[in-house]
Structure 1
Amino acid sequence: MLRRDPCCWSGAGEAPQMAMPRNKLHGLVAATFTPMTQDNEINLSVIGQYVDYLVKVQGIKNIFVNGTTGEGLSLTVEERKLLAEEWINQGKGKLDQVIIHVGSLSIKDSQQLAKHAAEYNASGIAVISPFFFKPQSIEALTEFLKEVAAAAPSTPFYYYHLPELTGVSLNIVELLDGIEKRIPTFQGLKFTSSDLLDFGQCVHKYKDKFAMLYGKDELLLSAMVLGASGAVGSTYNYIGNLCNKMLTVTERGDFITAREHQAVVQEFIGSVSRFGFGVAENKVTMMLVSGIPLGPPRLPLLECSEEKRAKILAKLKILGILT
């Protein structure tokens, strides 16, 4: 498969120098699924349709590519590059920001992916902590992030905090202390943890400096009340409209309506989580709502069973998400 030449990205193409504008990413960011064929190969052909669906149907104009929802760590470096190129190309003139996750167990792979994303004018890059050989201190984690960010010295950089999967449970408010001196391109966090104490402290101390993006969809309202600037999540692919309404009424101070919207999200996630709601089930949900063929997940994840699919479909209809 031939790779396209690097393309210009409207709104993100100018390479910032010393004074990088901060806190530009806000609102909802859809963590995109990776379309697969039935033979478990990446399927680039539906990404254009996927972009149009997000923008026109769900009102989503920012995306996070090759993250957990996108099975990024189950993909090869070459596959991740091809996906990054296609999302950037298809999003040109339609999406506001395309953030490419470049985290890997290998710092060399992360640097290669970071450099590639920069060459194709990604709006930003994000990195998860290594989770086999784990950083044991803030200093070790910062040093790792600094070396990856240096491979794309003019591209906005985000740290993706996911302690439930990585096992790296360092205090993130400490990570942010003076981080812009070590990583000039640092722009903010994708904070995917239920630790609202740590998140709240991050927001209180650094919301004027950095984008504070929350990653637990079922707790979005709580994070917004704390002052989150936005959120990154998988459910925004198919209930983005509902969650955008929640953000709108929250900004107006209408917390009664906001709680009603959050309750729908929690009812859906809570009910399907009782029988397992991982990437496979999430992917099926997106296919049921959008009609976009996304295929199965890649092993070691197993395909969603027909029994689970039927339960998801029933819940979507009960909640009025799917008629």
Structure 2
Amino acid sequence: MVPVADRKLNGLVAATFSPFSPDGEINLPVIEQYVDYLIEKQGVKNIFVNGTTGESMSLTVAERKALTEEWCLKARGKMDQVIVHVGCMSLKDSQDLARHSVKVGANGIAVISPSFFKPKTADDLRTYLQEVASAAPTLPFYYYHLPAVTGVNVQVRDLIEGIEKFIPSFSGVKFSGTDLMDFGQCVSYSLPQWSVLYGIDEQLLAGLAMGASGAVGSTYNYMGSQVNKLMLAFEDGNLDQARAIQFKIQELLSYATKLGFDVGVNKQLMTDVSGLSLGPPRLPVMQCPSDRAQLLKKKYHSIFH
């Protein structure tokens, strides 16, 4: 993997699912096949592991370390970058995972805001992020913004102002929010070496128009090849083609939402499309019922094949 210091994080980043065995234990042997699938079938060479899609908050620290180590090992020499999400409710756990990410050769770390005891202001959140980043000062550091889940609605533009003075390793934002004004202000303010990555898959084209340097999302696990075409069309100025692909993605996700789209349903769709054995989600997320899975699989193939 190319060190991120030598290469800005751009383009498509798949937020990976954590593979489990049928009885709910992490299933590390699947990861090598998963890496090859992303590269060969989807054209995706950057991954964001142990995030929301990876059910990180339902995993133990030991499980997250084991997954991180295996992702980094199997991606080495094949993928460009592995970004590891190390956010936890406990600062000490986050710092432990950050140090571990250095040890196993990750290309960067990302942190979501704590969501039980919530930071109230941009200064509070920045102070927390600084403490995590200080545990791994050599690794590029990304803030993972997900207000719909965390309930932390701090404006990212306020957070990143002057952040490089507090976190010299700060390298950008995974912006998984719908506030395009805040997103645009982040792009406008950002330093040239930062990556501002958009994380709402169904409106990626709007994020690109606002200046996103790339995208991180769960659907890029099984729609990466389509989204690469969307991004290429946008770069070429072919907005009609880019819109056509975006509308197809919206059609699928709108349909999935009516079926109760969540991590469990999403994981099942990835299993059905890829053929990988990813296992069930971990409680309290429920496994997707088979009838719903069949409907969604049929819809996917009707749109993209």
Q: TM-score range by the shorter chain?
A: over 0.9
Deviations 1:243-264 (A, max 9, x none): 0000001001100000001011
Structure 1: segments with no counterpart, 5+ residues: 1-9, 14-19
| Conserved? CA contact 1:207–1:227, under 8 Å | no
Say yes or no: does 1:208 pair with 2:208.
Answer: no
How far apart, in 1, do the equivalents of 2:27 and 2:102 lie?
A: 23
Q: Residue 132 of structure 2 aligns with which residue?
A: 148
Structure with the bigger percentage of helix: 2
Q: Please point out which of 180, 190, 193 is paired with 1:196.
A: 180
User: Taking every aligned residue pair, what percent have the same amino acid on both sides?
Assistant: 53
Q: Distance in 2 between matches of 1:272 and 1:301?
A: 16
Please list every run of 5 or more consecutive structure 2 residues that lacks an aligned counterpart in the other structure: none
Instruction: For 1:224 and 1:64, locate their aligned partners in 2 and report how far apart those are by CA, in whole Å.
Output: 19
The aligned residue for residue 4 of structure 1 is none
SS of residue matched to 2:124: helix
| CA displacement at 1:306 relative to structure 2 | 1.2
Query: What residue identity is the alignment partner of 2:169?
Result: T
Could you tell me the TM-score, scaled by structure 1's length?
0.93
CA RMSD of aligned residues (A): 1.1
Among candidates 73, 77, 84, match of residue 57 of structure 2 = 73
Q: Does 1:187 align with 2:171?
A: yes
Cα distance per residue 1:76-106 (max 9 Å; x no partner) = 0000000000000000100000000000000
Contact 1:115 1:152 in 2 (8 A): yes
The equivalences for 1:100-249 within 5 A come to 100-206=84-190, 208-249=192-233
Which residue does the alignment assign to 1:12? Answer: 3
Q: What corresponds to 2:31 in structure 1?
A: 47
Question: Are positions 1:56 and 2:11 aligned together?
Answer: no
Query: Using the alignment, how far apart are the partners of 1:190 and 1:102 within structure 2?
Result: 13
**Are 1:268 and 2:259 counterparts?**
no
Measured in 2, the distance between the counterparts of 1:319 and 1:312 equals 11
SS in 2 for 1:294: coil
Change in Cα spacing, 1:115 to 1:90, as seen in structure 2 (3 Å) is same
8 A Cα contact 1:12 1:121, kept in partner: no
Please list, as runs of the form range in 1=range in 2, the aligned pairs for 1:283-294 lying within 5 A after superposition.
283-294=267-278
Shift of 1:300: 0.5
What SS does structure 2 have at the residue aligned with 1:63?
strand
Q: Is the 8 A contact 2:8 2:193 kept in 1?
A: no
Look up the equivalent residue of 1:11 and give its one-letter code. V
SS at match of 2:24: coil
Shift of residue 209, structure 1, vs aligned partner: 4.1
Checking the alignment, whether the CA contact within 8 Å between 2:37 and 2:274 is kept in structure 1 is: yes
**1:320 CA displacement:** 2.6
TM-score (norm 2): 0.98
- What is residue 5 of structure 1 aligned with on the other side? none
Output the CA distance in 2 between the equivalents of 1:44 and 1:121: 17
Q: In structure 1, how many angstroms separate the alpha carbons of the residues matched to 2:179 and 2:236? A: 26
Query: How many residues in Structure 1 have an aligned counterpart in Structure 2?
Result: 305
Give the AA of the match of 1:316.
Y
Superposed CA deviations along residues 97-155 of structure 1, whole A, max 9, x for unmatched, are 00000000000000000000011120000000000000001111001000000000100
TM-fit CA distance, 1:305: 0.5
Separation of aligned partners in 2, 1:85 and 1:185? 22
Q: How many Å separate the matches in 2 of 1:313 and 1:80? A: 29
User: Partners of 2:27 and 2:91 in 1: how far apart?
Assistant: 27
C-alpha contact (below 8 Å) 1:194/1:216 kept by paired residues: yes
